[in-house]
Structures are given as C-alpha cells and as structure tokens.
Structure 1
Amino acid sequence: MQTAKTSTTPLRQLALHSTTTCSSHATTYGKCILAAYTDVRKDSCKQEFEKFGQCLREAMKRKW
C-alpha cells in the first residue's frame, strides 16, 4: 500500500504535468491572459487554452 506522500493521485499528476511536461503551453496561455486581462473577450485566448488543455489530457492518459 502506498502512503499519501508517495501515491500518485490524479491531482498530483495534473500538478506535475502542468508545471513540467506542459510548462511551455502554460506559459503561452498565461502570457495571452496577461496581455488581454484588461479587455477580456470571449475566446480571446481560446487557441492557447486548447493547446494547453490538449497537452494536459495527453500527459494525464494512463498507459496500461
């Protein structure tokens, strides 16, 4: 049985992948949000968000 410190929960996996595997996509999305935060419009950073989300989904897939 794994302990809480060593177990790989989905939330821990998400945190790991969002800060390592998908960091370039996260940075691009964050820069887009930062540039548009004073004039927020629907879908203004949609493309960047979709790329970041796709990266996370791919990174989170379990390999059986």
Structure 2
Amino acid sequence: MSTPTTTPLRRLAVASTVTCSQQATVYGKCILATYTDVKKDACKEEFAKFGACLREAMKRKW
C-alpha cells in the first residue's frame, strides 16, 4: 500500500509545483501572453517541455 507521500497524485502535485515549476512558469506566461489571440499550437513547445518534465518526475521512485 502506498503511503500518503508516495501516491501518484501527491507525486504529480509535487512535480507540477516544485520539480517542474520553471517549465510551468514559462508555459503559463505563454498562455497569458496569447489568451486573447488564441491560435492552434501557440504554446506547443512550452507545453511539450512542461509535459516532458512531469513525465520524467512521475517516473522517479519517491
């Protein structure tokens, strides 16, 4: 049984707010800068980097 600190949801929360904070910030700034003129794939590169960071962080054993 998983402990509360090692549940997948807990790991995702930590990854998205601590481990991948730099990539999340860059993606968020892109969204903020383009939300009034939405175009397909406007922040695709930033999203890809954030997603890759999250996937890598979730692979690690905590």
On whether the aligned pair clears a TM of 0.5, the verdict is yes
Which residue is 1:28 aligned to? 26
Output the amino acid matched with 2:16.
S
SS in 1 for 2:46: helix
Match for 2:45 among 44, 47, 51? 47
Q: Would you identify which runs of 4 or more consecutive aligned residues in structure 1 move more than 2 Å?
A: none
Give the Å deviation of 1:42. Answer: 0.5
Matched, 1:13 2:24: no
- Among 35, 38, 61, the residue aligned to 1:37: 35
Q: Output the TM-score relative to the length of structure 2.
A: 0.87
Matched length = 61
* Structure 1 pair 46–27 and aligned structure 2 pair: CA distance change class (3 A): same
1:47 positional shift = 0.1
Q: Which runs of 5+ in 2 are unaligned?
A: none
**Could you say what secondary structure the match of 2:24 adopts?**
helix
Larger radius of gyration: 1
